[in-house]
Amino acid sequence: MLKKISNLLSEVNNFKPNSKENLDNFRIKYLSKSGELNKLFVLFKDIPGNEKKLCGKELNNLKNTINLKLEEFKNSFISKQQVATNDLSKPIILNNLGSRHPLSIVKNEIVDIFNRVGFNISEGPEIEDDWHNFSALNLPEEHPARDMQDTFFIQSDPDVLLRTHTSSVQVRYMEKNTPPIRTISPGRVYRNEAISSRAHCIFHQVEGLYIDKDVSFADLKQMLLYFAKEMFGEKTKIRLRPSYFPFTEPSAEVDVSCNICSSKGCGVCKYTGYLEILGCGMVDPNVLENCGIDSKKYTGYAFGMGIERIAMLKYQVNDLRLFYENDVRFLKQFSSAI
């Protein structure tokens, strides 16, 4: 066997390919499943134990020599067409450039709208504790309103969870800052919901908070009207419907006039002429006190919206799941919206 290995090693060392086909045949002859090297390894199992060490060493030497020979000549037969393909001086094909995700585009637009009127950005952890996500927001343990948000709890610690809203960021911000406070909190949130065309277990929110002396519900309404006109167009109208949120009182749901049918009524707005976009209200005094703010001296308003919901309305997308499927055909439609 040693003699056979020696002969093959000599043959490999003397090999000089003159074409790509010749090099491919060399590789197949020695490295394919039925090649010379594989045959030797099959025979290696049956040789006496006292010869295995030396034979094994020579076999590995042969294998390494074959691989080195292939490495030496692998770039020797590149065609002119292949060289042209790798030509770094060629112009860039612009239609292959990537673009921002539609949710990022909408989030940046929302942030920019509120930045223009003095709101800064605050961020916080996605893995939260019970106090910041629930209790500080007027949702003590056993409060029935906790059922409104099906929560992902960390199994090893029932006090730790994936945040269900970015209101937890507002709590942290109020604990560390004194009024006047004017901040928005964009971020990803999690709820244990069935995935459908209108819902997902992962989605994105932007929540706003304004606290100062003599802040009124009229200030909130005017701010939301400003936002709606900036986001959907100057002709946009809003309406507020009474609602309930544990951390605001009074609370309201906000609808905008349907930009698809111009408020005349269509299937998208269920023939009402309006579409719901966010919830809002005046910050409950208990929430202010929980965060160390004097509720007798300060008042404030808060609002929260889903970025996916705004994106669906803005771009007339009828299925929420499209934002998460990474379908290039869908995403390419937003390349001009950056």
Flag whether 298 is in a domain. yes
Residues 113, 50 within the same domain: no
Beta bridge partners of 132: none
Higher-pLDDT residue of 237, 199: 237
Three-state DSSP at 303 gives strand
Contact 203, 306 (CB under 8 A): yes
Distance CA 301, CA 268 (A): 30
Residues 186, 114 within the same domain: yes
Copy the structure tokens of residue 139: 């949702």
In the predicted model, is pLDDT for residue 335 greater than 90?
Answer: no
Flag whether 273 is in a domain. yes
Name the amino acid, one letter, at 293: I
Q: Of 283, 307, 282, which is closest to residue 171 (Cα–Cα)?
A: 283
Give the whole-number percent of the chain exceeding pLDDT 90.
43
Flag whether 96 is in a domain. no
Higher-pLDDT residue of 205, 27: 205
Flag whether 95 is in a domain. no
Sequential DSSP letters for 42-93: HHHTTS-HHHHHHHHHHHHHHHHHHHHHHHHHTTTT--HHHHHHT-TTSPP-
The pLDDT value recorded for residue 59 is 78
Cβ-in-10-Å burial (0-12, 13-18, 19+) of 129 comes to middle
In the predicted model, is pLDDT for residue 97 greater than 80?
Answer: no
- Tens-digit pLDDT profile for residues 261-304: 777 887 767 788 888 899 999 999 999 999 999 999 999 999 99
Cβ-in-10-Å burial (0-12, 13-18, 19+) of 325 comes to exposed
Last residue of a domain, one of 85, 112, 130: 85
Sequential DSSP letters for 241-296: EEEEETTEEEEEEEEEE-TTTTTS--TTTTTSSEEEEEEEEEEPHHHHHHTT--TT
Q: Of 255, 263, 214, 207, which is closest to residue 235 (Cα–Cα)?
A: 263
Residues 116, 75 within the same domain: no
Residue 198 maps to which CATH number?
Answer: 3.30.930.10
Higher-pLDDT residue of 17, 168: 168
* DSSP single-letter state for residue 234: T
Flag whether 189 is in a domain. yes
In the predicted model, is pLDDT for residue 173 greater than 70?
Answer: yes
Which of 89-103, 156-170, 212-226, 323-337 tops mean pLDDT?
212-226
Flag whether 219 is in a domain. yes
Residues 73, 187 within the same domain: no
Lowest mean pLDDT among 23-27, 113-117, 258-262, 327-331: 258-262
If one counts every other C-beta atom within 10 angstroms of the C-beta of residue 236, the result is 17
Give the count of domains, the chain.
2
- Tens-digit pLDDT profile for residues 115-158: 999 999 999 999 999 999 999 998 877 766 666 667 888 877 77
The pLDDT value recorded for residue 207 is 96
The pLDDT value recorded for residue 204 is 94
Flag whether 272 is in a domain. yes
Q: Of 189, 301, 287, which is closest to residue 247 (Cα–Cα)?
A: 287
Contact 183, 122 (CB under 8 A): yes
The pLDDT value recorded for residue 50 is 74
The pLDDT value recorded for residue 114 is 97
Higher-pLDDT residue of 82, 301: 301
Residues 110, 33 within the same domain: no
Which of 76-80, 295-299, 311-315 tops mean pLDDT?
295-299
Half-sphere exposure of 294 (CA within 13 A, CB side): 7
For residue 149, what are the contacts with CB-CB under 8 A and spacing of at least 6?
A: 164, 165, 191
Residues 150, 253 within the same domain: yes
Residues 147, 214 within the same domain: yes
What is the Rg, in whole angstroms, of the alpha carbon atoms belonging to the chain? 33
The pLDDT value recorded for residue 316 is 82
The pLDDT value recorded for residue 115 is 96
The pLDDT value recorded for residue 34 is 81
Last residue of a domain, one of 52, 85, 118: 85
How open is the CA angle 24-26-31, to the nearest 5 degrees? 95
Mean of per-residue pLDDT scores for the chain: 86
Flag whether 97 is in a domain. no
Residues 113, 237 within the same domain: yes
Higher-pLDDT residue of 331, 301: 301
Last residue of a domain, one of 55, 85, 115: 85
Residues 52, 139 within the same domain: no
Q: Which domain holds residue 243?
A: 102-337
The pLDDT value recorded for residue 187 is 95
* DSSP single-letter state for residue 2: H
- Tens-digit pLDDT profile for residues 17-74: 888 888 888 888 888 878 888 887 777 777 777 777 787 788 788 888 888 888 888 7
Residues 73, 116 within the same domain: no
The pTM of the full predicted model, rounded to 2 decimals, is 0.68
The answer to whether the Cα torsion of 221, 226, 228, 233 is positive or negative is positive
Distance CA 136, CA 129 (A): 11
The band of 5, judged by pLDDT with boundaries at 50, 70 and 90, is confident
Distance CA 252, CA 245 (A): 8
Three-state DSSP at 333 gives helix
Residues 70, 218 within the same domain: no
Residues 60, 114 within the same domain: no
